[in-house]
Structures are given as C-alpha cells and as structure tokens.
Structure 1
C-alpha cells in the first residue's frame, strides 16, 4: 500500500480530512472534513486482486454518504429555522438525536452497525486497521460535543451486547475483529460520558492493541479460525504472542488492555451505575471466549518440532516488533500503573 505514491497521497489526505473535522468551528467545516476523509478512503479500499473490496467500498460509500447527507440537511434546517425551534425548545433534544444517530452510523456503533462487519470482510488487514482506529476519531470527537445521556446509555448497552453475542457464531477473523470493535466502541462511549481525556486514553490503548493483533494476522495471512491450526507447527513465541495479544485486547488482567477498562469501571462505580457496569463486564467476558477459540487448537494439539528451525524468526524486523509489542501487552499494566499516578 505504501509503495504506491498515489495511495500514500490518499492516506495523507485522509488524515487531513480528520484533522479538518476535529479542528473546525462550524458544522459546514465539519461536513467538509468528513467528506474529504470519505473520498480519500475509498481509493485506499480498492484492490484489483480482491473482488470483495469493490463491494465493500460501495457499501462504505453509500452508508457514509447517507449519514453525511442527513447531517448536512439537519444542520441547514436548524440554521434556517433557528428562531422557531428556539421558541418551542425542540432543538436541544430532537435534532441532537438525529445528529448523534448520523455520527454513530459513521462510526459503526450499535444500533447503526449493520454495515461495519460486511465492509470489514472485504478489506485488507491494513485497511481494517484504519477503519477500526483512525476512521473513528472524527465521529467520536463529534459525539462528545453533543451527547444525550438516555440515547448514549441505550447505544452503550447495544454495542456491548451485539459486539459480544454476534461474534460467537463467526468463523471469519475479520468479522470477529469487527464485532470486537463494536464492543470496544461501547466502552469508549461510556468513557466519553465522564471526560474527553478518558475516552482518548481508551482509544489510544485500543489502537495499540488492535495494531498488535492485526500485525500478527497480516504477517501470517490469517483470515479464518480454521487457519489457526497452522499455528501448531509454528514457533511457541508466535503462539504466545498471538494468545497474549488477544487476551490483552479482551481486557483480561493483568494484561495491558485491562488498564483502560479499569479506569472506565472506576468512573462508572463513582456514579453508582451498578446495573450498567454489571452488563458491560459480563457481556465483555463473552468476547474472551471467541478470542481464546482462535488459539485454542494451537495449544491443545500435540505436535513434533525441531529446535534448529527457530533461529530465523528472530532475524526478522517484524518478529522483533512483534516481541516488543507482546512484552508491552504482558507487562504494560505494571508499567502504566507505576507511571499513571505520577501524572
């Protein structure tokens, strides 16, 4: 992808679109930034060697264009009828719900998640990483500007419920990662209720852990769960790296992914929302099941191996990067727990 100068140009334009959106002071500027981001991501999605990429890019374009059209129409309608709606006090609730719905549709949050797994299925792993991380920055930042608590609580519960249960019957790793992203999106929305800093911390940790998992899938060209059988003949270091990265992404202590969930749990406990907290923690544990299912066969099956075949793994730059990421996934919680109280 980065070997093609035009792809690199589109990637820079995509980042600029996001920056324009989050730094704009008007809804028209926000809309322009979202459109620049959308039109620059479509060429990145296209892959002549993958027939599903055309279908995925078309689904993504239609969904995002619909959300942008509704957003622009709502904003223009509010500007044209500002005096009328200020008198009857409808502006503060009804149109906030419409704007929130369009932004959740853009980010793939439940109950507007219908397009997200299908688009993920047709993309490469690198494009999936962009869609799961960078493409969520602008919509989530805008959601933090116009929150409606009742609507947010419904979306949080649906994100965690759908993200946890829908991933159980999937065999495609891309769809599993898509529903995992929806589950994490529920935690980001819940952290957004308390402070902008909290959801940014969660987003950064989630992006790092998603990168570590997708790096593994991309290195060994894993697309479905049954391909994990090939892990049985691989280096134990690779198997443990994948296992620890998935458990860390699931938020299991004492791995690094537990730290942002720990902060969110503390924040929710401070406002006595025990029912919401119980639902979030219980349904998130379901995601650990389909994470462990990916590596379960590789650890349980007996196999023979040759010790002298291991040395070439450590000469590869990707392998060294993988080992570094795995180290932070395993011991990052200890390091962060020491550093975080200082700040």
Structure 2
C-alpha cells in the first residue's frame, strides 16, 4: 500500500472510528465507530491488487456477518431479552479470538506488512473496548486461544501466519485481563510497539518465509537487532515483551487463576521455540560470517535494542513510584 492522500484519508477515518468507539456512552454509537473503522480498512486492502482484493472480500464478509449479529443482539436487548451471548460472539469474531480465528489466517498472506500491522493491533482496539462492558467469563476461550496460538504456529513457514498466531496467542493474555482496563490497554500498547519493530524489520528486509533466512547475507548488527526484537516479541527476559507477561502472571496469581497461569507458562515455552528457531536459522545455522568473529564486530546499539533491553528495568524501577 502506497502512502498517498487517499490512503491518508482512510487512515484518518479509521482513527476517527476508533475515537468514536472509545468516547461514546451508547452501544449504537460504538457500533457506528466499528463500522467506520471497517469501511476505512477495506479500501486499503484493495490497493494491493488481486491478492488484496481477495483478502478484502473475506474481511468484508466476515465483518458484515459479525456486524449483523451485533445489531441483532442489540435489538434483543431493546426488547428486554437479556441475551448478550450473540453480541459477545460477534465481537469475538471481529477481533479474531479462537475458535473464531480462521478468517484471520486465510487473509493475511494477501496483505503487506503495513496492513498486517493494522489488522493485528489497531483493528482490535474497538472490539476489545466494547467487550470490557460485558459480564461474561472468558475462562474457556482464553484457554483455547492460548493453546491454539502456541501449538498451531509450530509448523508454519510463513512469517505472516507466524505473526497472526502470535497475535492470537497474545489475545489470550489480553482477554484474561479484559476487565482491568489499565492492564489490558498497557499490554496492547506495548505489544503494538514490539510488533511494529518486528514488522518494520521484516518489511525492510523483504522477508516472507522462514527459508529466506537461510539465504541471507545480513551483517552482524542487523542480525542482532532482528534477534533481540524476535526474543522480545516472544517474551524472553529481560526484554520489553517479558514485562507484559509478568504483569499478567502477577494478576493471575492475585485472582487465584492458577490453571490459566500454568497454561500461560507452558504455552510461552512453545512461543519462544519458534521465535528462537527464526533467530537460530538467521544467526547460527545458515550464516556467511565466521562464528568466532561475532564478538569482534560489536558496534553501537540500535534504537530497537535499547528499547527492548532498557524499558523492562525502567518500568521495574518506577513501579514503586506508581
């Protein structure tokens, strides 16, 4: 997608839709904000040619069906038929929560990395915000999301699908703290920052599949930045991504949710496996650089490495102040 006046207009409409959803006190106006966000995102996908047009049709059909379910659930509420299960299902479909995640995986290969970033981060703000006003126990759906997001990504070769499964997995963490606005919004904000760094690197190096790491000729600095960002997205301490997980772990212990906590810990090991696999392929297994020359070429750190290494200790230090 080229950044021109047309795409800039759609981005502005998308931001307006999100602001309407976040600032409204009526469920109808929140729905209007959701539709504005969807209507602005579909034309941006059509700019990608045939593959983008196919993805836009899939996205439009799924979002239209979920919007109809949302309107139907709102009508039931107006008729004093207090059955909000239909609204919950529609919003879970919109956000791509497991087991309603199939449409996300079927359309990500037709998107470029900029649209993928928008789909996996910005487009989830409005539906999650609306779900915070519900009173539903997402216990089972969180478990399914954690298991599906961690196990299904093990046999993937596409970088886009790996990012999608990682996003589905992180939705499990978000939905485990969905009734704590300060926690899930902080988690989504930091996840968006880390995802932006990784997608920027993938787009800059034009990497789409894992076997492209085997034929790379990156210099050592680029490999180190890519390695640190991958480990941060997987949640390896002491990176920034580990701060997200330790906040949720502490919340689960405070609420005595030990089963979800155990599933989170074991699934985190699986997530770390396929991110370490990417780093290992890039740095160690297939590399034109002599391994004993690694530490002879240490240059100044990049901004991404500074953010990932220093933000976690910084938050730990300022936590008593907050």
Structure 1: how far apart are the matches of 2:98 and 2:320? 34
Structure 1 segments unaligned to the other structure (5+ residues): 86-90, 315-319
Q: Hey, what's the Cα distance between the residues in 2 that align with 1:13 and 1:27?
A: 19
Aligned position for 1:52: 51
Superposed, which structure 2 residues align to 1:20-31 within 5 Å?
20-31=20-31
Q: Deviations over 1:191-235 (max 9, x none)?
A: 224x1100011011100000010010010111000111233x211
Partner deviation per Cα, 1:285-333 (whole Å, 9 max, x = no partner) = 101111112221222235248x9xxx9xx9xxxxx9x921221112221
Aligned equivalent of 1:250, options 216, 234, 247: 234
1:220 aligns to 2:219 (yes or no) = no
* Equivalent-residue separation in structure 2 for 1:170 and 1:304 (angstroms): 27
Which residue number in structure 1 is paired with residue 166 of structure 2?
180
CA contact (8 A) 2:146 2:267 kept: yes
- Measure the CA separation in 2 of the matches of 1:158 and 1:148: 16
Aligned equivalent of 1:17: 17
2:140 aligns with 154
Aligned residues: 315
1: CA distance, partners of 2:3 / 2:57: 24
Whether the 8 Å contact between 1:52 and 1:122 is mirrored in structure 2 is yes
Deviation string 1:80-136 (CA, Å, 9 cap, x unpaired) is x22xx4xxxxx1xxx222211111110011111110112222101000001111100
Q: Is the counterpart of residue 142 in structure 1 residue 126 in structure 2?
A: no
Aligned with 1:190 (options 156, 162, 176):
176
SS of corresponding position for 1:342: coil
Provide the TM-score with structure 1 as the length reference: 0.88
**1:47 Cα deviation from its structure 2 partner:** 2.8
CA root-mean-square deviation: 1.9
Matched, 1:124 2:112: yes
Distance 1:341 1:184 in 2: 26
Q: Identify which of 162, 178, 189 aligns with 1:204.
A: 189
Please tell me whether the aligned partners of residues 166 and 271 of structure 2 are also in contact (alpha carbons under 8 angstroms). yes
* Larger displacement relative to structure 2 (289-298 or 173-182): 289-298
Question: Equivalent residues in 2 for 1:64-75 (5 A)?
Answer: 64-75=63-74
Q: Does 1:263 align with 2:231?
A: no
Residue number in structure 2 paired with 1:166: 152
Asked if structure 2 preserves the Cα contact closer than 8 Å seen for 1:100 and 1:147, the reply is: no
SS of alignment partner, residue 154 of structure 2: coil
2:320 corresponds to which residue?
341
Once the two structures are TM-superposed, the CA of residue 268 in structure 1 deviates from its matched residue by 0.6
| Equivalent residue runs for 1:228-247 within 5 Å | 228-231=213-216, 233-247=217-231
- Distance 1:302-1:245 versus aligned 2 partners, 3 A rule: closer
Match of 1:88 in 2: none
